[in-house]
Structure formats: structure tokens, C-alpha cells
Structure 1
Amino acid sequence: MKTLFLLLLFCHVSSAVKHSLKIFRTGSSGVPNLSEFVGSLEVDGSLVGYCDSNKNIVEPKQDWVKKIIEDDPQHFQWYTQECFQSGPNIFKVWINNLKQHLNQSGGVHILQDISGCEWDDETGEVNGFNQFGYDGEDFISFDLQTLTWIALKPQAVTTKLKWDSEEARIKVKEIDLTKIFPGLLKKYLVFGNSSLQRKDLPSVSLLQKTPSSPVSCHATGFYPDRALMFWRKDGEELHEDVDHGEILPNHDGSFQMSVDLNLSSVTPEDWRRYDCVFQLSGVKNDIVTTLDKAEIRTNWVSPSEFPAGAVIGVVVGLLLLALCITGLFIWRRNNNGFRPAYTSDSSASLSHRNSAPN
């Protein structure tokens, strides 16, 4: 079953030294409009495949994966079996068991699983991992060194004891993490070599919201996600007054990241002593951007620089609009008039009617 599952999900390849395969599975109970089971497979942070049991789809996300399926139709059969049969059924059983152990009768419950491996193609070292989360919290993880489960919260102890006693399951888990997953990772690296092992350098920009805001060094469009970016002063890496952002995916499969530098205590004369360095794994030359005020991009405009003509134009326009509305109001009143409740004629008529004999 594990072999079928890991094939179903596809993998994630990264840079030249270390590569990783990550399989994500999510099962749910009592959640309206949410699929009971979804799975995805990443290689080095790039989505390779996806499946959704409710939508009845198994979708390769890379052309080279489609080529594998064309050459080996059994691949697709394995994917569909895991997504529409094995995966949903197993997760449903696991969720029901957890609800019983935790004395939960109903409600909304979500079980998440991440498993896979990292492989160092220089040393050959393989590190496998498997961890579960339940209802949004870390729950239990597998220790490959001791071949036992680790309870990540007190409520998981019962599950740990039960799973530790299942020797056959532990043996399958060990084979998955040390042989099956690394084998699949290496296979996908071969088939997807041109895509997964490419090196795309980013465009790097200096950004700042206001003159008192930190300066952000922003890199976007790089691949893979094995990258570092930091600020230096006089060639030495800075750690203080620096805020590192996370590496985030772009819609086209590339990545972006930023690192902010607080310049509140730096004089303008010292700015050029600072530079931003971007390093991409597997690429020899760094991208170095010197801190230069002239190169900083910002949307901020000083009030003193804001065009006075535009302000005067807006004010004059509002005044003209107000005059037009007032003039229209007066014109309509003069032409239509405010009709009083009673005129002299109507008063006389009313008086006459009131004095008429009954």
C-alpha cells in the first residue's frame, strides 16, 4: 500500500546537493464542502502531483510526470487506487479511532500527514521522516533511529503505545523511509532533470515604504528554493537590525524572498558600506546589491513634493461643484416655488364653507 501511495503523490526536487520528496495527505470528517481526502507530492518544493477524492481527479503537475504515466500506465492505476480507495479508507479509520481514544463524539476533525525523505547526492545520506497532525496541532511522529513513535502531546500517548506494538507496520514504515521514498526521489530526479535541477537567478530590488521604514532587499523568480539572502556591512554578515522573511512560491513555480534592514541608526554617509547578498545553491557567483538611495524603489511621495497645482485643481473643482448644486437648488425654487398651505383665496373659501348653514 505504501508503495502505491508514494507513487500516487509524486515528489519534490531541489538543488544540487540535497534533494527532498514530501508527500502531504489530509483527511477530514464533518467538514462541509471539503474533500474527505486530498494528497499532493512535492520534489524540492515544487508541486509534482495532486489528487482529490471528492472531485475524483488525479492530476500530474509536470510534463515529465505525464511522460512517465504514458510510458508506464500502471503508474496511473497506482495513483488512482491510493487516492480513491486506500487513502480515504485508511484516513477514515484513523480519524474514527482517534475520536474514540479522545472521547470525541462528533464535530469537525482533520488529520494531516507529511512523510518523505531528504537525500544528499554527494554523501548518499538519507533522512526519512513522518509526522501527523490532528485538528491543527502536532500529534505524533516517527523516530527512524529507534523505530518508535513519539507522542507530541499527552493525548497521543494511547496512539503511540498502539502503533509501537504493530511490528509489521513499523517495518513497512522503515522500508518506505529508507528505500521506497529515496528510490522514487532518484527516479523522478532522472526523469525531471531538466526541470527539477535547473538554476534560475532572480531579479533583486531594494524597496522602502517610507523614508523611516526598513529597506527591503527583495529577490523574485529564482529556482530552486535552496537560497540564502542576507545583509552585510563592510563585508561582514549582519545579524542585528535584520529581519529575514520566508521563501515563498510564485504562481509560475519559481520562488521569492526578502530580508529587511533597519537603518534608523545609520547615517546617510554610511549607506554604501552596506550591501545585500543573494546566494543560490549550486551557483558559484553571488548577486550583490549595494545599498544606494538612488536605487531604492518606493511609492511614497513627500508632502512638500506633492504637486500644488493638483491640490488647487481639486479644491477649485469641489467649489465649482458646490456652486452648481446651490445654483440649481435656487433655480428650481424660483420656478416651482414653495407652495404655502393656504392662500388668501383659499382662506376665504374655507371661511365661507365653514360659515355656510347646515
Structure 2
Amino acid sequence: MKKMEFVFLLIFFPVTLSVKHSVKFFLTVSSGVKNIPDFVVVGLIDEVPVGHCDSIEKKVEATQDWAKKLMEDYPEHLQWYTQECLISPHKYKAAIDMLKNQLNQTGDVHILQRMDGCEWDSETREINGFAQYGYNGEDFLVFDLETLTWIAQKPEAVIIKHSWDKDTPDIEVWKHFLTQRCPEFLKTYMDVGKSFLLRTELPSVSLLQKTPSSPVSCFATGFYPDRADMFWRKDGEELHEDVELGEILPNHDGSFQMSVDLNLSSVTPEDWRRYECVFHLSGVKDDIITKLDKAVIKTNCVPPSEFPAGPVIGGVVGLLLLAVCITGVFIWRRRKNGFKPANCFRLIIH
């Protein structure tokens, strides 16, 4: 397509970016893991944690001011969440025992996780519900809302799939929740929390480096929403080699953070000026550009209060991050394919 034709299309047929809003629930039940709650559920709106409950406190707590107000204005929501928080631990602990028996498993440590909720597309107005389970850190079962059946993600899950497919009352419960209750929740939350959820905030951007030989990390924190991109470029061209992009992670105040590392081991000092970090927030015209300059790089030599010691830390400031590293225990990681094994089991609770 010629350049003028492309410009014509942009002017008379502008591209409308689709924005999706979501409500998600992350549930984790553990067996044989000491010194942590064996049941934790966290609710997220647009990827921001807004409430949680666990088997120790046994009560629902909102973590954002607008969510606290929602619980006051809509007590039926608090009642529903409280009921789920009290009933679910017993149900899912029994589910782990059932899985161990049906799969002929031994050993004390097992993790069952569930992620469910719905997404709303602001352009198409389409709402999609979803639910899936993970077991011991791997994808296990996914609910197909079109066929109202469970899809086994590994051979061991087939026997469970057949059993759950026959449970018609439970299938109807899932159908009702994903197609009616969850969308109603999301509509209410978007209305009550619109001043918070529909805002735009730019981040502060810093250059960080642990040691003189470490990669330089371009770290952005405090931005909202999470529809952002970040990259290094040289002489105006985006780099793909010697670059490592981190995940977008939530901060305690509902904003987000991300980082992108640049390996400078093969770059001479005189060439540093040719590099720059670019942060782009969806819907914002101007990018934030940070030139690679040794004079502005923060290192471990500065006081801890001035140095965010890595992207994970900022994501849990203000929340108690209960972390117990155990071999064979897994966590839910955000990625397209679902569950990912890790060496450290982390639960975010208040």
C-alpha cells in the first residue's frame, strides 16, 4: 500500500483500539505446606488485587479504597464473598484428597489452583467467561463454555474430566456464574470504580544496575493502566538482542511496574550515548525516553530507600508476601499458557 493511501485510511477510518476489562479470582489450596494458610483467594480487577481472604483470617478484606466503599454500598457482594470464603476451604481440601486418590499419588505436598472470571471488551461489548484448574504447577482442566464440558490438559486429568462432565448441577453453576453473575459483578465494579479503573497515570522511570558488570535495567513504576510497552533502542532502532523484558507487575497502590534489561558487556563506553530506553503507555501520545547515561544510573551503593531492588519487590510493597521456597511446590505465573512451575511458592495476603 502506498504511503498516501495509508494516511488516507488513518484519517477517514481511524483505528479504534480495543480495551478489555476483567475480573479474575485466583484460588490456591495447599496440602503439606507448613506455616502458611492452606487456602488463599485473591480477587483482581483489571489485574489489580482488590481483595482477598484466607483460611487463617476467615474474612474478606478489600485492599483498595473504592473496593471498600463498594462492599459498604453493596453488602450482598460482601455476603457472597464471605460465604465463599468460609465454604471453599473445606471443599477444595477434599478435592486435593480426591485427586491424590484418583491419581494414586503419595507424598504430602500438593497444590491445587483455580483461576476464573470474565473479560469485557469495551469496543465489541463482548463478555467472555473462563475457568481453569492447575495441579502441582501444571495446567490440568479448562472449562469450555461453548460445549459446557471440561477439557483435560494432560492424560492424568481425563478421568477427572469424565467425572466432572457428568456433574450436571455443577456445570449449571459454572454456566450461571460465567455468563451472568460474573458479568454483573464486572459491570458493577466498572461503574463504582471508574474513577480509579479508567484513569491514566505516567510512571517514574529509573536506570538501575546492581554492579558495573551487570545489565542496566530500565525500571518504570507507578503507571496505569497495564497496557504498556517498554524497550531499548540504539540509534533510533528497537533492539531485540541482549535485551530481556520483564513482566508487568502490580504495585500495592493499584498502579503497575515493569522493567527491561540491557546487556552492555559488548558495548564500549563511548557508544553508550547511542542507546535509550523507551516507555509507551497505550492512549498516551508522547513516549517517555531515557538516555543511557552512567551519571543517572542507580546502584546498590545508594540507600535502600532510593533503590527498588528489583521489579518483584515493588509489586508487593504494602502487602505481606508470604514466601516459602520448597522443592516441588509451584505457583501460578501470568502467561498465556497458564501454569508454570517454580521453586518458590508465593501467596499475596494482607
TM-score normalised over the length of structure 1: 0.71
Gaps of 5+ in 1: 1-14, 302-358
**Which residue does 2:74 correspond to in 1?**
72
Do structure 1's residue 170 and structure 2's residue 154 form an aligned pair? no
SS of structure 1 residue aligned to 2:186: helix
| 2:260 corresponds to | 259
- Counterpart of 1:57 in 2: which secondary structure? coil
Q: Distance in 1 between matches of 2:258 and 2:197?
A: 19
Go from structure 1 to structure 2 and tell me whether the alpha carbon gap of 1:36 and 1:298 turns closer, same or farther (over 3 Å shift).
closer
Alpha-carbon offset, residue 23 of structure 1: 0.3
Q: Which residue of the partner structure matches residue 61 of structure 1?
A: 63
Quick one: structure 1 residues 102 and 278, their matched pair in 2 at CA, closer, same or farther if it must change by over 3 Å?
Answer: same
Aligned to 1:343: none
CA shift in 2, pair 1:27/1:292, >3 Å: closer
Among candidates 21, 40, 43, match of residue 41 of structure 1: 43
Contact 1:221 1:250 in 2 (8 A): yes
Alpha-carbon displacement from aligned partner over 1:315-346 (angstroms, at most 9, x marks no partner): xxxxxxxxxxxxxxxxxxxxxxxxxxxxxxxx
Would you say the 8 A contact 1:114–1:132 is kept in 2? yes
Q: How far apart, CA to CA, are the structure 1 residues paired with 2:264 and 2:135?
A: 43
Shift of 1:204: 0.9
1:184 is aligned to 185
Change (3 A) 1:81 1:233: same
- Counterparts of 1:1-358 in structure 2, within 5 Å, are 17-85=19-87, 87-104=88-105, 107-298=108-299
Shift in alpha-carbon separation, 1:298–1:61, aligned structure 2, 3 A? closer
Contact kept? 1:16, 1:197, Cα under 8 Å:
no
Cα distance in 1, alignment partners of residues 217 and 206 from structure 2 = 8
Structure number, greater radius of gyration: 1
Call closer, same or farther: CA 1:264–1:89 in 2, change over 3 Å.
closer
Which letter maps to 2:70?
A: I
Q: How many angstroms does 1:36 deviate by? A: 4.4
User: Which amino acid in 2 is paired with 1:97?
Assistant: M
AA of the residue aligned to 1:74 = E
The count of residues paired between Structure 1 and Structure 2 equals 286
Mapped to 1, the partners of 2:118 and 2:89 lie a distance apart of: 23
Q: Give the aligned residue type for 1:244.
A: L
What are the Cα deviations for residues 181-210 of structure 1, in whole angstroms up to 9, with x where unaligned? 222112101101112222221111222344
CA distance in 2, matches of 1:290, 1:168: 59
Name the SS of the counterpart of 2:183 in structure 1.
Answer: helix
**Which structure is higher in helix share?**
1
Long gaps (5+) in structure 2: 1-16, 303-350
Secondary structure of 1:150's aligned partner: strand
Alignment partner of 2:182: what SS? Answer: helix
CA root-mean-square deviation? 2.7
Could you report, residue by residue, the CA deviation over 1:257-281 in whole angstroms, capped at 9, with x for unpaired residues?
2111123333444333322111122
Provide the rounded CA distance (Å) in 2 between the counterparts of 1:298 and 1:56: 42
* 2:113 partner SS: strand
Identity of aligned residues (%): 65
Q: Deviations 1:200-252 (Å, cap 9, x if unpaired)?
A: 21111222344443222111222233221101223222111111122233343
Comparing 232-241 and 140-149, the one that deviates more = 140-149
Q: TM-score, normalised by structure 2?
A: 0.73
Change (3 A) 1:215 1:150: same
Question: What's 2:320 paired with?
Answer: none
AA paired with 1:68? L
Partners of 2:157 and 2:56 lie apart in 1 by 29
Distance, in Å, in 2 between the alignment partners of 1:88 and 1:278 is 42
Distance 1:236 1:177, change over 3 A: farther
CA distance in 1, matches of 2:107, 2:269: 62
Q: 1:207 to 1:183 in 2, by over 3 A?
A: same
2:64–2:253 Cα contact (<8 Å) kept: no
Higher strand share: 2
